[in-house]
Structure 1
């Protein structure tokens, strides 16, 4: 007491309360087992989006849309501003920085894809829009070219540290050229319900019910990017036709005085379907819908016909510009042009067809950039440089695989065309392998993956009390239903054993035949039940289980 000048009290009674302890072993295991670390990037730089927005102090902070560590940081209002420099933004996607050259002109080529943290999930458990206007599988892809980027002044380069700098040309100023594209699910309420069939059951709610969500979605997109060119690549026939028509109906509800134009050819009645606003004063008149019958136009390995879509979009691409900034010796940045429009591409999954189109648009814009800065002459294009074209194709194919693996569980389809410019037999076999793997993943493995997304992003918050957590992952199906796959496997096993095992000469035949007959009946009955009640055997998410599960 004398040394510390503090009162000392005698403890008269000590009461120890007991309470349930939350032990998140299962939840933590979801994150570890599903390999999130493979596609995470910790980004302390390059956080500015070079689109139609003006630079402000806020631009140097990560976008809420793409900020995957947001839920782990708590409420911004409760966090001291002084902590911001120590917060490391986390994005989920792909980042590639490469030193290269075109026509002997050195440059740094960068491709960044950032996946939205909203409505993130797996292929069949995340489709369309939610009520807040967030689209499934929404990704922003930015293609950047940096000229004369070096660290000779001792400063960190735009592309990173000195290891990523390219050779600076004498008298040349550092220039940053950037082009942004987006992809996202068709912006209506729709879903595909797994039933173990290769093609799930398609469900689309009325378009009118999704108008408010679509307005929220496109209001955000227009504020972020300006004019939106909505490229739709789904099929015009079959099961995808309903999705196509729902999208077109939604656009016609949003824009003022919509004008439609359809172009046909000898193979299809609807090669293009264009919906353009005629008013021009409404907020959503910045939406321009372009449908392209991708599969029909490119069937028979006629991939060059995708160029038809580029020709259709060329006027919009030229008007929308791209970002071009010059780093001045005084330390400022002179903005020579700013991107004022974006192409939002989708197919059913926003994966395979979308990848082909986005790489095509990226190549076109890259050639335009290099022509504007004088590296290419008018009429030349970057793909004439064989070494750079090889790099370009492989970087975009790697990007396609990253986006596809996070959503479907496998690499992208058609990447042989993206990598080589040709469709090959090996590529077709790889696509078959990926398609089979996707079926297995989407029906039997994606439930835990979806739970991992929901847990990490905060769309599901565990109960700290631990009440009910022990039974959350328990299989509540009746024992007979749980047992049927094992019964089927056992019956098939015994049938094969009976057919291919050599019998003793004096063995009695009829008991074995009766046993095989019973196994055949058991296999047929259990197999029929499983196929007709496939939804009972899908591995559904356990944390935020869909209503149709």
Structure 2
């Protein structure tokens, strides 16, 4: 019988005609062979001859096709993060790309793609386990068939390397490797141990205690692979119902977990799932609580123009209703009732997003009943949209607006407790998951004693800073409830009463904020000083200023390549051997503006601070300096006015609003009284093809 769990040790043998992958701990298992350069798979029962062992790897991340070649991406180095229910959890530290072809020619785009992917994998926080499913919450794990292979049990949303595992999965299922045929050629269950699901997000596991009661505390945030991307290039919802920056956060408490047990065995050894039992004299209790976050589910975008505050664009709410229905169909099916907490501002530019969200809720909920509860300090504290009567599935949506900025301004962070008071009854009703290990069960199944029946879905504009403050507050409240229900705390006591644990809890949630923010915006989160210490400090505000400046630079000048890396890895871009994607097709004069500005500023700086000879003629230098000053002012004004032309947009899947902004900016430049005639007269091949990557119309592929 073939193992259903991934191999934790794989040897790689390479030759000019194939790569061979085998597990030394499973000598009777067949060897997976990938022929070069075709990329065809086959299984070999005997020892593969003519190859040289090149390395030992921790797993196969997948196979990716770029412009000229396909590459086997392997995990070469990992870091052990800890144990959950006695099962080891690892982080991907280093990867390597094994080309199927011997490189004959150098291709600039191919090199660019490889560089993007290597940087993405180096910086991306990815985790996996050989023996447990990290992509599913413990509640969903309890509902799975644990006899199935690990990759089949994985949640498709959080199976981060699902796209680059496509070739292996199709071969496993028996599909033809030729995409034009898709014929059934017989399944190959022996391939299951080579398919390793990887999760992207945040994971922390620590052994701690509250008032002398020891337990394992873990926090896992899983980022969805659907509509993955960066801050200003991935907003709102798509036609398939996927929202940007969707994350599921699971807070886990395990009592009587035997953290000192030996290392879980190799695939096929010991228990079927490699689990090691805990203390046989005590029940192992697993408690977990799920929260979600995600972008406001309407069609909206923010358009970079080099201004600190981008232009906000909200498209028709009515047109987004089918997509929102698909989104909430999945959310209700997976989590039950959704309590949608909206934290965006009720004034200024964010109010349009708030109003669009509320309008969408009214369109989905039958006979909506609205209630506004005023606060002495603001015009509006809570705005609640609830169904008057439940007639349909979407009446399980409950909208709660909380004016976070106004309620907490002036460092009054304790007023965030008002939201907790508003959600008190829903939190009591939704419960949390509670399972107990079934002694002697070789599959590691759990006896379910309680289920979480709903979820709080929190968002601000980016689902980052304000969102994490609120989620950590809800996590603390639920943890206290868990400890009271199990008898470790008395009614009226709080987990935060234990200073050492409170310090640990705050820092883990602050780390979660930083990881989620870094993967989306490029910097750590704002307001983490409050999450870490419970107080807003001046040092924290200075750090927020630094992060805000860094976000501005990254969102305008480096997020385009980061978005391209997301699209390549997640399969949102269909590559073509004829693409010349990274050629800059802007007119040379427009390209040269930043260099002209830099040269003028350099000359002005030198003229001011360079010492002159006593008998030197001054007026030519002054004239030249004044000329450079005038040119510098004009070029700076030009760049600022036409900032869309200088944003580093994604080149593979350029957003439609970027194309529109580019066209508008070019139209404005052609009418510029100074350089308009040069652009009109010398524009290279002024046609629709001239827009290059902005007009290629690449389609996203899931």
Report the TM-score when normalising by structure 2: 0.71
User: Partners in 1 of 2:542 and 2:262 — Cα distance?
Assistant: 50
Give the C-alpha shift of residue 156 in structure 1.
4.9
Q: Is the 8 A contact 2:142 2:448 kept in 1?
A: no
Which residue of the partner structure matches residue 74 of structure 1?
166
Match of 1:478 among 579, 587, 594: 587
Match of 2:394 among 263, 284, 295: 284
Alignment of 1:115-130 (within 5 A): 115-130=223-238
Which residue of the partner structure matches residue 5 of structure 1?
none
- The answer as to 2:578 corresponding to 1:467 is yes
Match of 2:257 among 143, 149, 156: 149
Q: Is the 8 A contact 1:320 1:340 kept in 2?
A: yes
Give the C-alpha shift of residue 35 in structure 1.
4.7
Give the C-alpha shift of residue 486 in structure 1.
0.8
Name the structure where strand makes up a greater proportion of residues: 2
User: Partners in 2 of 1:521 and 1:151 — Cα distance?
Assistant: 69
Which residue of the partner structure matches residue 352 of structure 2?
242
RMSD over aligned Cα atoms? 2.2
Write out per-residue CA displacement over residues 47-101 of structure 1, whole angstroms, 9 at most, x where no aligned residue: 4424489713289611111111110121655533613343111111011110111
User: Partners in 1 of 2:139 and 2:337 — Cα distance?
Assistant: 11
Structure 1 stretch displaced more, 112-121 or 32-41: 32-41
Which residue of the partner structure matches residue 128 of structure 2?
42
Q: Is the 8 A contact 1:106 1:167 kept in 2?
A: no
User: Partners in 1 of 2:540 and 2:354 — Cα distance?
Assistant: 28
Give the C-alpha shift of residue 37 in structure 1.
4.7
For the residue of structure 2 that corresponds to 1:125, the secondary structure is: coil
Write out per-residue CA displacement over residues 225-271 of structure 1, whole angstroms, 9 at most, x where no aligned residue: 00100000000000000000000000000011100000112221111
Higher relative contact order (CA 8 A, sep 6+): 1
Report the TM-score when normalising by structure 1: 0.91
User: Partners in 1 of 2:262 and 2:650 — Cα distance?
Assistant: 51
Which residue of the partner structure matches residue 180 of structure 1?
290
Which residue of the partner structure matches residue 432 of structure 1?
545
User: Partners in 1 of 2:515 and 2:345 — Cα distance?
Assistant: 24
Write out per-residue CA displacement over residues 407-435 of structure 1, whole angstroms, 9 at most, x where no aligned residue: 00000000011011111111111100000
Name the structure where helix makes up a greater proportion of residues: 1
Which residue of the partner structure matches residue 498 of structure 1?
607
Give the C-alpha shift of residue 441 in structure 1.
0.3
Task: Evaluate the alpha carbon distance shift between residue 200 and residue 166 of structure 1 in structure 2; reply closer, same or farther with a 3 A threshold.
Answer: farther
For the residue of structure 1 that corresponds to 2:157, the secondary structure is: helix
User: Partners in 1 of 2:278 and 2:298 — Cα distance?
Assistant: 48
Task: Evaluate the alpha carbon distance shift between residue 205 and residue 21 of structure 1 in structure 2; reply closer, same or farther with a 3 A threshold.
Answer: closer
Structure 1 stretch displaced more, 197-206 or 23-32: 23-32
Match of 2:246 among 126, 130, 138: 138
For the residue of structure 2 that corresponds to 1:453, the secondary structure is: helix
Q: Specify every segment of 5 or more residues in structure 1 that has no aligned partner in the other structure, as ranges.
A: 1-19
Structure 1 stretch displaced more, 288-297 or 39-48: 39-48
User: Partners in 2 of 1:49 and 1:288 — Cα distance?
Assistant: 23
Which residue of the partner structure matches residue 103 of structure 1?
211
User: Partners in 2 of 1:111 and 1:476 — Cα distance?
Assistant: 46
Which residue of the partner structure matches residue 65 of structure 1?
157
Q: Is the 8 A contact 1:192 1:201 kept in 2?
A: yes
User: Partners in 1 of 2:194 and 2:277 — Cα distance?
Assistant: 29
Give the C-alpha shift of residue 520 in structure 1.
1.2
Task: Evaluate the alpha carbon distance shift between residue 510 and residue 165 of structure 1 in structure 2; reply closer, same or farther with a 3 A threshold.
Answer: farther
Which residue of the partner structure matches residue 517 of structure 1?
626
Which residue of the partner structure matches residue 180 of structure 2?
none
Which residue of the partner structure matches residue 358 of structure 1?
471
- The answer as to 2:149 corresponding to 1:56 is no
User: Partners in 2 of 1:349 and 1:328 — Cα distance?
Assistant: 41
User: Partners in 1 of 2:144 and 2:520 — Cα distance?
Assistant: 33
Q: Specify every segment of 5 or more residues in structure 2 that has no aligned partner in the other structure, as ranges.
A: 1-66, 70-106, 174-186, 266-270, 659-702
User: Partners in 1 of 2:620 and 2:111 — Cα distance?
Assistant: 50
Match of 1:416 among 511, 520, 529: 529
For the residue of structure 1 that corresponds to 2:626, the secondary structure is: helix
- The answer as to 2:136 corresponding to 1:26 is no
